[in-house]
Structure 1
Amino acid sequence: MSIRLDLYKIFCEVAKHKSFSKASKVLYMTQPAVSQAIMQLEDELGLRLFTRTPRGVILTNEGQMLFEYANSAINLINVGEKKIMESKNLMVGNLRIGVGDTISRYFLLPFLEKYHNQYPNIKLKVINRTTLELITLLKSGEVDIAICNLPIKDSSIETKKLMDIHDIFVCGEKYKDIISKTLSFEEISKFPLILLEPKSNSRQYVEEYILSKGIKIEPEIELGSHELLLEFAKINLGISCVVSEFSHEYLEYGYLYEVKLTEPIPKRSIGVCSLKSVSLSPASEKFVEILEKKA
């Protein structure tokens, strides 16, 4: 149906006030313009909506039926517009963030705290998964943004770098004698290695780089979290590959020692990911702004 929405709005005001003149004042229109609009609506529908009386107008049976539906629809539109404005102004809304355990603990927490303090009415949902799992959740619409290890090799994903990180090897007291030397990847491969599980983006990055140098590394222990990498190295179960920026406490307090490499592993990044084909919600946009300012 091609009848314009503004005709229905005028119709509802006339029905509520039972008067063309009163409706015209509410609508800031002239009375002839209101009358013309009602006539146009009646012509397009092919029926009479009002009965004119000396005291004003009253709805016909058909007009009463139309009013019940039209008024409900307009009220719903008004509520929808209000909700949109509230969402735009971050008075209501939801933000679903996908993030890895390590990034969540060592990077994300202060940003979540700042965001929640500024926008307490936004409901936060944080989902912890590996980078590959987070990209799947992002593409299925289950999260709004994902904070992941980069690079992401997917043309449908837009990424914004937040910070650089460096992969290093660390050891505990048992292997302390090697920290005075500079080791090659081949020498490193001969030690009992502790790495993240194979599906981890971090593990794949390190493994692929070392393999590009002609060395294949095979861990004795595979773990699901960065924290466990640190703890297992601390009790001398082997040499762990960890992120330097997320291991400061263990290194500063002497729980672990960094193993020097003849060729350091190139830096990589963590960043925020979103779908190129989907615009960010106001809640998501503001959170990304906070990340970019503080990162």
Structure 2
Amino acid sequence: MISKLDLYKVFCKVGKSESFSKAARDLYMTQPAVSQAIMQLERELDIRLFNRTPKGVSLTNEGKLLFEYVNSAINLIDVGEEKILEFKNLTVGELKIGVGDTISRYFLLPYLEAFHNKYPNIKFKIINGTTLELCSILKSGEVDIAICNFPIADSTLELRPCIDIHDIFVCGEKYKDIVSGPVSLDQVVQLPLIFLEKKSNSRRYVEDYMMSKGIKISPEFELGSHDLLLEFAKINLGIACVTKEFSQEYLNKGMLYEVQLNEEIPRRSIGVCFLKSVPLSLASTKFVEIIENKLI
């Protein structure tokens, strides 16, 4: 059975062409099928829509009124379908990413560049925050995906680990001789400590590990960014707990020195997370694929 929408599409085509036969050719239908469709619509509306003449057809006054509305609606549907096709082809759209400042700088940028080069018409919206904040805005729908410090204990989220990272302690010239040999965590906490603020997932991970060893920390400085940890340690304000992979420039140039521990802090991960209950947009899917493929 032909649908009401199909009837209106036939109606519009006949109205524009003023001919059943021409409309039939444009619609790849037979002329009797077009004629039947118009008669069915007229029956359902209980009104005559076309004047039939030997030279063709013309809209009645009622038909002209209906045509204005139906033609607009059909055009809007066509535009909508074109927009959907654009989204499918990633020629328009927006990718909303939640990420921390440090991960953005040291991990995310190459993937943003690769995605932008491949899909230049997709706009980015980047929202910064701690892992806890990013999980919250992810659930509220403000971002499509978040790139966070793992572990995350949340059963509503799909977690895709990307790279392993290592938490280490670093120091400047003042302390390098004090911690020149392998030292224990008990010895480290006797020195002035520089940590991220308590709401940081990285801070909680290291603090929980040390607590499991019966070691409680009381930092001299609690800072809001990883870069500040490095700078404070460089000017000898204490021993900073940092991410090794994000501190290589300071270590390689001899601005900071890694404290050699008797027992390394277990590695953890950085990864992508998104809601299990909400399908990823095509743009988000392609972005995650770029990250995973470049890591292979």
**Same-fold call, TM > 0.5?**
yes
Report which stretch shifted further, 176-185 or 86-95.
176-185
- Cα distance between partner residues in 2 of 1:40 and 1:262: 86
- Cα distance between partner residues in 2 of 1:64 and 1:158: 54
- Cα distance between partner residues in 1 of 2:217 and 2:182: 18
Deviations 1:80-129 (A, max 9, x none): 11111111111111111111000000011111111111111111121111
State the secondary structure of the residue aligned to 2:168.
strand
| Residue in structure 1 matched with residue 247 of structure 2 by the alignment | 247
- Cα distance between partner residues in 1 of 2:6 and 2:153: 49
Deviations 1:147-205 (A, max 9, x none): 11112211211111110000001111100113322222222211111011111111111
Give matches, 1:1-295, under 5 Å: 4-295=4-295
Task: Please tell me whether the aligned partners of residues 161 and 271 of structure 1 are also in contact (alpha carbons under 8 angstroms).
Answer: yes
Deviations 1:212-264 (A, max 9, x none): 11111111101111100000000000000000011111111111111112221
Counterpart AA for 2:238: G
Task: Please tell me whether the aligned partners of residues 48 and 60 of structure 1 are also in contact (alpha carbons under 8 angstroms).
Answer: yes
Identity score, percent: 71
Counterpart AA for 1:264: E
- Cα distance between partner residues in 2 of 1:79 and 1:151: 44
**TM-score, normalising length from structure 2?**
0.96
Task: Please tell me whether the aligned partners of residues 156 and 275 of structure 1 are also in contact (alpha carbons under 8 angstroms).
Answer: yes
- Cα distance between partner residues in 2 of 1:294 and 1:54: 68
**TM-score, normalising length from structure 1?**
0.96
State the secondary structure of the residue aligned to 2:208.
helix
- Cα distance between partner residues in 2 of 1:293 and 1:124: 20
- Cα distance between partner residues in 1 of 2:29 and 2:123: 42
Deviations 1:17-73 (A, max 9, x none): 111111001001000011111112122222222221222222222222221111111
Counterpart AA for 1:113: E
Counterpart AA for 2:141: G
State the secondary structure of the residue aligned to 1:183.
coil
- Cα distance between partner residues in 2 of 1:136 and 1:188: 34
Counterpart AA for 2:209: Y
- Cα distance between partner residues in 2 of 1:49 and 1:245: 73
- Cα distance between partner residues in 2 of 1:138 and 1:117: 26
Q: CA deviation at 1:3?
A: 5.0
State the secondary structure of the residue aligned to 1:161.
strand
Stretches of structure 1 lacking an aligned partner (at least 5 in a row): none
Stretches of structure 2 lacking an aligned partner (at least 5 in a row): none
- Cα distance between partner residues in 2 of 1:45 and 1:65: 13
- Cα distance between partner residues in 2 of 1:106 and 1:243: 11
State the secondary structure of the residue aligned to 2:127.
strand
State the secondary structure of the residue aligned to 2:179.
helix
